[in-house]
Structure formats: structure tokens, C-alpha cells
């Protein structure tokens, strides 16, 4: 069968558009496979959700088109042309689409499976629709920017820096949006909101922008390749290394905040806050170099990341331990532990990296394993990001990367994990021979699904697994430990392991716990769980409205923050314009909140 990608894509898109124009939503659904999916990211409703199967897809279109109209839907002429590719074990025609609704302009992806019986026809396996821009409110870039007082010459008066400094102090106004955290999550949403003209203040408790990476352990570098890690509007220079070192990334963050004119208060911590439902406004207390300040934003974005408050486990006898205890988040370098006994509790990425750093510094290192861990070589891990090596423009690659609904994500990760296990067979066998307990994620979905559901539980081997195999880093099982004693660990067999340093690489609390700590139980309970998958087959409360009005979350990898900060910023803009109401009705039974429909004009 000869597959002509452009012809198949044109035929399908034409049929879809005719069905939409005729309001024949059953006809729309018939264009999908039985296992087809439609993922919509604010394209037709102010939400991120996925419908699976023709019945759900028909119901979703019927529901969403009650509040919005589609003006155009066509193949994109500006993006990569339709092509035949293989995705999640399936040969598909992959094509980009553009569309326009009564609210804005959007882009998407359709992945089509050719019909063997009808070579000129195909059905959709996946459709992605995502909003790019709200009508009359584009991102303001370069020559599009209106004349600004800050950029005019005024001899004898204030220059650009004077005005920037004055504005960033917020002495005469309150920000519309307060962002907590100046890591990749905070910087990306700050930049997106700034491009949309929304007054945004970012606070961070560290001394400098970038310290969230700069202050981490000495040997840290990113575990995924540079190609997919760019920030919005300012891609990394071509001279950047393949795996960016943490200090280089920290310096880039600092430069990014300056170049993007982001308002950032460093050395400033969130103290507490409350929300006025009637005024639709927060009262937030922050503590900085000048003492306590009160800010009254309409929106608060928690951008503290998946890793925020360290978890310090309750360990039997730890109160008697005379050595030093430090969480991996606060670990710096192992040089002062040369020749001494160090133990790392935890076998995820941080635990392995800290153990390897201690070993390289001359310490005698043991690792304690509490639960099975997914291990894979760093080389094999890059298969997850192979899309960014296909030579596509970054914006196209980003759309393709999010055009993977949850059911396909499961299948894709299972196939990826099977491939990685085969490639890493020798390493994994050697680890098991040493007594290291392995797992491969729920249903064999591997490391990335672990990240999306629990934020850890895996390790990309950059050498520590080899040290465990050789015995240079010792391995203990937590089940063999009785308790900590003043000079170390007493094992259940009666032996004593001397310990001078204990590093707890035990992860971080959920973002709901962060909200609870600073904003109280009522707001945390109203918000609900953050991260992990919910009923809508999407990450819970991430990048979209939460049951707590005016409270938003941005988190994840550099790529996730770059991509989804765009849709988060558009939703905040829509709230500011009155296109949607951030207040959602919450039933007393605790069911999912009801989404309000977009209006066609600002309120």
C-alpha cells in the first residue's frame, strides 16, 4: 500500500471540517479509531483533558461546542509537512493543523492510521488541539511592542534601568500575579505572563536567581540532553554542552531573569496568606531584606517544583545518632568526608549521585535501599527525548511531545521500558547479583511514569551502579537494619556499621503539602492533590484552574515548564479579560469541579 501523507491528511482534515460545519458530531467521532483519543489543551474549553474512544469524543465535542464556535480548521502551511512516522509501535501519518475559534487561534497535531481497504482514507488515532493566542491579545515581542517610556531617551531624567528598578519595587501598586519560586517553573511562567502584559512579581528565598540549582550537590548536571531543555523566547546558545552542568544552568537562569525584564525579589520568603472570595484577591505576607511586605495579587502561582519541602523520614534510633544528618537537597560536596564512613539512605537519582560524589571524594560509602528502584543507563534514557533529535523546529517538537494522550503514554512507556531493559540487560543482571532490588514501574511503564506519578524512584546510571556492582559502594537493605545507634547502624544480625555521615535522599513533599504549610489546611484541602493522574487522565491541578480560585501550579522538567507555562499564562489572561471565571463550583461530595464555559466577549 502506497501511503501519500499529504493526501491522507488533507482528506481527513477536509472530512473533519465538513462534519463540524454541518454540526454532525457523530460524523466527527466516526473519523476516529475505536482506540482514538482527543487531547484538548484550552483549545475548545478552558481546561486540559482527554477523551478516549468515539463515544467520549462525540460527547466532548458536543459539550465543548456549546460554548464556543470553530471558524477554521486546516492543515498548517507554516509547520512541518505531513509525514509517515512510527509512534508507540504504530505507523502513522503525522500532520500539523491550525484552527481558529470565536475565542482565539490554535495549533494541533493529528496522527492518522491508513485504512488498508481504502488506501486514500485514514482514521485518527490521536488529535491534539491547543490554544496559541486569544484574539486581540498576542504576545508582545520585539518590534510589535508599543513605545515604552522605559526605552525613551530622556537626558537628565530617568533611564531604562531607573524605571525598571522602580517598577520592580512595587511601591505604588500590587502585582496581578505573585509567583512563588524563581526556578524554571517560576521563570517560565513569569516570562509568559510578561509577554502577555500581565504585571507579575516572582519571589524566591535564595540569594540569587539560579540558586535552586547552584546550591545543589557539586557534581550535578542535567540527566537529559540540552536539545529539549530551552526556556521560552531564549533558547540556549549552540555552544552549550550536551548535558548542562548545574552552575552553568544557574548562571543562565540569572541572565534570563535580567534579559526578560522579570520582576524578582530574592532573599524573600512566603510567610502566609489568605484569600478573599468576595474580592477575588489574595492577601500574602512575604519576608525579605526590608522586613514583612504585604502583596494583594489576584493570582498566586506555586512554582516551587516537584521538589519543594524535604521529607525527613522517621528512623528508629536516629535521635541517638551522634553523626551528621543532611538531606540530599542540602548536600554540597563530599571532600570533608574523605576517609570517613558515609551512608546514603535512598536509591533514586539523588541518592546514587551523592554516593558517587562521596566515593570520588574518598569516603567509605554504603547505600541503604528501602524499596525496589528502576535503573537504566544514561544513554538509554535519552530515547525518551529522541523527538528533539528529529531536526524539527522546537515549537513543532513541543506540539508533538504533548500530542500523546494518557492511554498512548502508557503504551509508549511500556515499549520504551522493554527496549531499555534489553539494552541494559548486562548491567541489570549484575546489580541483581549484588542484591540490588529492581523494578520497572507499574505495569512495566518505567522511569518516566514514576516521575509523573510520584516524582522519583529511578536512577540514570552515570557510574554509581558500576560502583555497586564492583563493591566499591556497599549496599544495605533497610529490612536488615535494626536501628541507629550513637556510632552508626545496628544490623539485625547484631553487627554495628560505623557511620559519620547520613545523607537522607528520601525525596520531597507534594505541592499540596507546601500549600498546607503556608496557606493552611482549608485552602490545601480545597485545592486537592497536586501531580499524579486524575479522572481526566491528566496531571492533577497542574497548569490549569484548581478548585481554589486564583491558585495555580507550574512544575516539572525544563521542557514541561516551557511548554505548559504558555497554556497556564493564557488561562490567567482569560481570567483577567473576563473570558472565564476562575471560580469553580465544587460539589459537597468532592466530585470534580464544574468548568465554566468561555464567553465570546470580555465581561
pLDDT digits (tens, 9 = 90+) for 561-592: 999 999 999 999 999 999 987 665 443 233 34
SS3 412: helix
Which pLDDT belongs to residue 160?
86
Provide the CA 417 distance to its chain's centre, in angstroms: 21
pLDDT digits (tens, 9 = 90+) for 3-23: 789 999 999 999 999 999 999
**Could you tell me the pLDDT band of residue 601, with boundaries at 50, 70 and 90?**
very low
Lowest mean pLDDT among 213-227, 340-354, 485-499, 542-556: 213-227
All domains of the chain, ordered by start, with CATH?
Answer: 5-134 (3.10.450.50), 164-308+510-577 (3.50.50.60), 318-504 (3.50.50.60)
Q: Which residues, 6+ apart, have CB-to-CB distance to 91 below 8 Å?
A: 84, 85, 113, 114
**Is residue 593 scored above 50 in pLDDT?**
no
Which pLDDT belongs to residue 590?
35
Which pLDDT belongs to residue 583?
64
CB atoms closer than 10 angstroms to residue 507? 22
Which pLDDT belongs to residue 509?
87
Q: What are phi and psi of 448, to 5 degrees?
A: -70, -35
Mean of all residue pLDDT scores within the chain: 92
Lowest mean pLDDT among 109-113, 180-184, 291-295, 384-388: 384-388
pLDDT digits (tens, 9 = 90+) for 219-242: 889 989 999 999 999 999 999 999
pLDDT digits (tens, 9 = 90+) for 514-535: 999 999 999 999 999 999 998 8
Q: Is-contact 437 373, C-beta < 8 A?
A: yes
SS3 242: coil
Q: Given the C-alpha cell 523494578, which residue does it identify?
A: 439
Cα separation of 478 and 491, whole Å?
A: 9
CB atoms closer than 10 angstroms to residue 359? 18
Instruction: Report the run of H or E that residue 141 belongs to, with start and end.
Output: none
Share of the chain above pLDDT 90, in %: 85
To the nearest 10°, the Cα dihedral for 176, 181, 184, 186? 0
Q: What is the DSSP string of 539-576?
A: BTTSSS--SSTTEEE--SSHHHHHHHHHHHHHHHHHHH
Provide the CA 592 distance to its chain's centre, in angstroms: 22
Q: Is-contact 410 449, C-beta < 8 A?
A: yes
**Could you tell me the pLDDT band of residue 150, with boundaries at 50, 70 and 90?**
low
Nearest to 220 by CA among 343, 376, 357: 357
Which pLDDT belongs to residue 600?
38
Cα separation of 400 and 397, whole Å?
A: 5
Q: Which residues, 6+ apart, have CB-to-CB distance to 234 below 8 Å?
A: 256, 259, 260
Specify the DSSP class assigned to residue 462. Answer: S
**Is residue 123 scored above 50 in pLDDT?**
yes
How many residues appear in the chain? 603
Which pLDDT belongs to residue 395?
97
Amino acid at each position: 500500500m502506497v501511503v501519500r501523507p499529504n493526501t491522507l491528511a488533507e482528506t481527513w482534515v477536509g472530512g473533519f471540517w465538513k462534519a463540524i460545519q454541518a454540526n454532525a458530531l457523530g460524523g466527527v467521532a466516526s473519523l476516529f479509531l475505536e482506540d482514538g483519543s482527543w487531547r484538548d489543551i484550552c483549545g475548545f474549553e478552558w481546561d486540559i483533558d482527554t477523551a478516549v474512544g468515539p463515544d467520549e469524543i462525540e460527547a466532548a465535542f458536543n459539550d465543548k461546542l456549546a460554548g464556543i464556535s470553530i471558524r477554521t480548521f486546516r492543515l498548517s502551511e507554516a509547520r512541518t509537512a505531513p509525514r509517515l512516522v512510527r509512534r508507540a509501535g504504530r505507523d502513522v501519518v503525522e500532520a500539523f493543523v491550525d484552527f481558529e475559534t470565536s475565542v482565539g487561534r490554535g495549533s494541533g497535531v493529528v496522527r492518522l492510521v491508513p485504512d488498508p481497504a481504502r488506501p486514500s482514507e485514514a482514521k485518527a488515532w490521536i488529535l491534539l488541539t491547543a490554544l496559541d493566542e486569544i484574539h486581540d491579545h498576542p504576545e508582545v515581542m520585539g518590534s510589535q511592542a508599543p513605545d515604552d517610556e522605559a526605552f525613551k531617551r530622556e537626558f537628565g531624567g530617568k533611564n531604562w534601568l531607573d524605571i525598571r528598578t522602580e517598577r520592580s519595587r512595587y511601591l505604588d501598586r500590587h502585582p496581578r500575579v505573585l509567583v512563588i519560586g524563581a526556578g524554571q517553573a517560576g521563570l517560565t511562567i513569569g516570562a509568559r505572563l510578561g509577554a502577555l502584559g500581565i504585571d507579575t512579581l516572582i519571589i524566591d528565598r535564595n540569594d540569587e536567581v539560579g540558586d535552586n540549582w547552584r546550591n545543589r550537590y557539586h557534581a550535578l548536571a542535567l540527566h537529559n540532553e540540552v536539545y529539549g531543555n530551552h526556556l521560552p523566547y531564549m533558547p540556549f546558545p549552540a555552544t552549550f554542552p550536551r548535558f548542562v552542568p548545574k552552575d552553568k544552568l544557574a548562571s543562565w537562569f540569572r541572565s534570563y531573569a535580567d534579559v526578560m525584564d522579570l520582576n524578582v525579589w530574592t532573599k524573600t520568603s512566603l510567610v502566609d496568606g489568605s484569600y478573599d472570595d468576595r474580592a477575588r484577591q489574595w492577601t500574602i505576607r512575604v519576608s525579605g531584606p526590608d522586613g514583612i511586605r504585604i502583596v494583594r495579587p489576584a493570582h498566586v502561582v506555586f512554582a516551587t517544583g516537584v521538589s519543594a519541602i524535604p521529607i525527613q523520614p522517621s528512623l528508629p534510633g536516629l535521635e541517638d545518632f551522634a553523626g551528621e544528618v543532611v538531606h540530599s537537597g542540602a548536600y554540597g560536596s563530599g571532600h570533608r568526608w574523605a576517609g570517613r564512613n558515609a551512608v546514603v539512605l535512598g536509591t533514586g537519582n539523588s541518592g546514587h549521585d551523592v554516593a558517587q560524589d562521596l566515593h570520588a571524594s574518598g569516603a567509605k560509602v554504603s547505600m541503604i535501599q528501602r524499596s525496589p528502584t528502576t535503573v537504566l543507563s544514561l544513554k538509554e534514557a535519552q530515547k525518551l527525548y529522541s523527538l528533539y533529535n528529529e531536526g524539527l523546529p522546537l515549537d513543532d517538537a513541543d506540539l508533538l511531545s504533548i500530542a500523546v494522550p494518557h492511554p498512548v503514554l502508557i503504551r509508549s512507556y511500556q515499549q520504551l521500558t522493554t527496549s531499555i531493559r534489553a539494552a541494559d540487560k548486562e548491567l541489570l543482571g549484575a546489580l541483581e547479583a549484588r542484591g540490588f532490588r529492581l523494578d520497572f514501574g507499574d505495569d512495566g511503564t518505567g522511569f518516566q511514569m514514576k516521575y509523573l506519578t510520584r516524582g522519583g524512584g529511578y536512577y540514570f546510571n552515570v557510574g554509581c551502579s558500576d560502583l555497586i556492582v564492583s563493591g566499591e559502594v556497599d549496599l544495605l537493605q533497610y529490612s536488615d537494619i535494626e536501628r541507629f545507634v550513637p556510632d552508626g547502624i545496628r544490623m539485625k544480625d547484631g553487627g554495628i556499621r560505623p557511620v559519620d555521615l547520613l545523607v537522607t535522599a528520601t525525596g520531597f513533599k507534594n505541592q499540596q503539602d507546601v500549600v498546607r504549610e503556608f496557606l493552611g489546611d482549608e485552602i490545601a484541602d480545597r485545592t486537592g492533590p497536586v501531580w499524579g493522574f486524575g479522572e481526566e487522565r491528566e496531571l492533577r491541578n497542574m497548569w490549569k484552574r484548581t478548585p481554589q480560585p486564583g491558585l495555580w501550579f507550574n512544575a516539572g522538567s525544563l521542557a514541561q515548564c516551557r511548554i505548559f507555562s504558555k497554556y497556564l499564562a493564557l488561562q490567567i489572561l482569560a481570567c483577567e479579560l473576563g473570558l472565564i471565571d476562575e471560580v469553580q463550583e465544587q460539589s459537597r461530595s468532592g466530585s470534580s469541579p464544574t468548568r465554566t464555559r468561555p464567553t465570546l466577549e470580555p465581561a
